[in-house]
Structure 1
Amino acid sequence: MSPLPLSTTVRLSALRAGHLTLPEHLFVTGGDPERRNTVPSLAFLIHHEPSKTNLVFDLGVKRDLSGYAPALALRKGGLDPATDVDFVVLSHVHWDHVGTPADFAAATFLVGSGTLEVLKKGAGLKYPAELFHSDELPRDRTLELPPVPGRANGGAGGYYETHAPKHTPMPKGSRAKLPPHGYSPVTVNESEGRASCTWKPFAGFPHTLDLYGDGSVYVVDSPVTSTAT
């Protein structure tokens, strides 16, 4: 691993994004099936100093629980989500990660390939369409990253092996933006309506994306391995 340029500086802040109570056996091997634990739903704010942009990774639990789909029954902290956040990266769109996207009125949402189809059609019996809102993300400001080579749309195993959600092209007149020229290795092919980038191995991970092109922030592909049936 080569050292980062001295001019590359990022500030990382943990955000309080809600809490949820889960059966212990869901996240602790050999956990007591009768025991439940309250755990935080994590989100993070990253300020990329060279480009003067702010990125939020995951949005946690919705601040207004009535905003969830009926089947399921970020406060300001020095930054205004509506104007001061440039990018939101979502690891996935389960209820405890998707938060309240409407708060981020100017941000570009960067998501994995197939995300928008999951919001419309669901993903198997465990995650049917009624658990999602098809309009959860702003279509004209959402950019799906390219599929990982050698694996259809980034899915792997179980349900996703044969039902990988399809990549959704950008609409005409998309307002999605990328980090300033000279930083990001991601480019947009407007004629094809999709982003282009090269997934590369880094630090033991086979597929990563150097989001700003300076080694400061990496998106790491984490394929689905559960059956989701």
Structure 2
Amino acid sequence: MTSLFSNTSATGLPTVQIHALSAGHFTLPEEQFVYPASTGARKTVPSLAFLIQHKNRTSGKTTRIVFDLGLRRVIERYSEPIQRHLATRRPLTTDPDVVSSLRAGGLTPEDIDFVFYSHVHWDHVGEPRDFPQSAFVVGHGALDVLARKSKSLRGSHSFFESDLLDPARTVELPDPAGKGSEGNTTTTSQFSNTINVQGPWVELEELLPAALDIFRDGSLYIVDAPGHLPGHINLLARTIKEDNSTGWVYLAGDACHDRRILRGEKAISEWLDVHGHVCCIHADRAKADETIERVRDLERKGVEVILAHDVEWEEDAANAKRFFGA
């Protein structure tokens, strides 16, 4: 049987187009992200967003999705706790943001049908009000995080806005633990007959335990990626490569924050807060390690992996042309 991840001729296979969107930069203290780390070491990283475009072969309709919105253009619009946290993440820049990056390629927020959030940390949620006509998709558990029902989350980055999203334009994905059954999520007309946000979750080749076939044609999957934050999701997309074969791109969000962790050169960091509690950038360290190992397996199969804060990917000159509008 041919593997899903084999490179084949593009003829006849549904694909999507993917472009990177610059959505701000900020600076990470390495001691809170990788181990071992040199005392005081800091690294400025991007917050990448992505434009995904899918053309229905029957209707000819193009559906446009933006995956993550990066940093908020006006940081004063963040809550006070997040603004205090941002003081530890300087230098940072918010120009260009997602809206400017879309404009560089000739699109506006009104052209975007859906915004998918990998998760709802401050450096991914951007400014939802910039997209007043888009529908929003979040992973299972993300709405509880926004409502501040998750009491175990620690760290100055763990502040969330209960009023971030318009409930009338937002859908939360069904629980991946109910794999194989349809979700009970009520959807609006913006979702009906356009994308699959109700399930069922399926397993992909014993490698990814829970994936959702968004367009029901195998071109784009939402992948459950537990560990970093409740509701954390990734995307797996089939694309056309330069040699006209199809290949896969995996948008890994914050599955990990540094490519050295994927290579096994570093491990996930933990630290003590002022109260002596053990903190980690991942809400569930054990599940995060499992997710990272799955991502490694994808790379071994030839899937291109891009992290949300992938400074190595951004600095690779060959990727400059992959930004929208380049």
TM-score using structure 1 length: 0.76
Partner in structure 1 of residue 68 of structure 2: 58
Partner in structure 1 of residue 86 of structure 2: none
Seen in structure 2, the aligned counterparts of structure 1 residues 128 and 142 have a Cα distance that, compared at 3 Å, is farther
SS at match of 2:81: helix
1:44 to 27, 47, 50: 50
The answer (yes or no) to whether the contact 1:23–1:37 under 8 Å persists in 2 is yes
More helix by share: 2
> CA offset at residue 114 of structure 1?
2.1
Seen in structure 2, the aligned counterparts of structure 1 residues 168 and 130 have a Cα distance that, compared at 3 Å, is farther
Partner in structure 2 of residue 198 of structure 1: 200
2:163 to 135, 146, 160: 135
Partner in structure 1 of residue 124 of structure 2: 97
The answer to whether the aligner puts 1:29 opposite 2:35 as a matched pair is yes
Paired residue type of 1:141: R
Q: How far apart, in 2, do the equivalents of 1:179 and 1:79 lie?
A: 24
> CA offset at residue 29 of structure 1?
3.2
Please provide the CA RMSD for this pair: 2.9
Seen in structure 2, the aligned counterparts of structure 1 residues 201 and 169 have a Cα distance that, compared at 3 Å, is closer
The answer (yes or no) to whether the contact 2:140–2:173 under 8 Å persists in 1 is yes
> CA offset at residue 25 of structure 1?
2.8
Partner in structure 2 of residue 224 of structure 1: 227
> CA offset at residue 118 of structure 1?
1.2
Seen in structure 2, the aligned counterparts of structure 1 residues 93 and 227 have a Cα distance that, compared at 3 Å, is closer
SS at match of 1:121: coil
Q: How far apart, in 2, do the equivalents of 1:128 and 1:116 lie?
A: 19
> CA offset at residue 84 of structure 1?
0.4
Seen in structure 2, the aligned counterparts of structure 1 residues 115 and 214 have a Cα distance that, compared at 3 Å, is same
Seen in structure 2, the aligned counterparts of structure 1 residues 71 and 15 have a Cα distance that, compared at 3 Å, is same
TM-score using structure 2 length: 0.55
Q: How far apart, in 1, do the equivalents of 2:190 and 2:12 lie?
A: 26
Seen in structure 2, the aligned counterparts of structure 1 residues 24 and 129 have a Cα distance that, compared at 3 Å, is closer
Partner in structure 2 of residue 162 of structure 1: none
The answer (yes or no) to whether the contact 1:55–1:85 under 8 Å persists in 2 is yes
SS at match of 1:219: strand
> CA offset at residue 121 of structure 1?
1.5
The answer (yes or no) to whether the contact 1:114–1:168 under 8 Å persists in 2 is no
The answer (yes or no) to whether the contact 1:71–1:130 under 8 Å persists in 2 is no
Q: How far apart, in 1, do the equivalents of 2:41 and 2:158 lie?
A: 28
SS at match of 1:131: coil
The answer (yes or no) to whether the contact 2:22–2:49 under 8 Å persists in 1 is yes
Partner in structure 1 of residue 139 of structure 2: 112
| Ranges of 4+ aligned residues in structure 1 off by more than 4 Å | 2-5, 127-130, 167-170
Q: How far apart, in 2, do the equivalents of 1:111 and 1:33 lie?
A: 36
My pick for the range that moved more, 36-45 or 211-220, is 211-220
Q: Which structure would you say has the larger RCO, counting Cα contacts within 8 Å and 6 or more residues apart?
A: 2
- 1:113-192 to 2 correspondence within 5 Å? 113-121=140-148, 123=150, 124-126=152-154, 131-149=159-177, 170=186, 175=188, 177-178=190-191, 180=193, 184-186=195-197
The answer to whether the aligner puts 1:79 opposite 2:89 as a matched pair is no
> CA offset at residue 127 of structure 1?
6.0
> CA offset at residue 130 of structure 1?
8.3
Q: Which has the larger radius of gyration?
A: 2
> CA offset at residue 169 of structure 1?
5.9
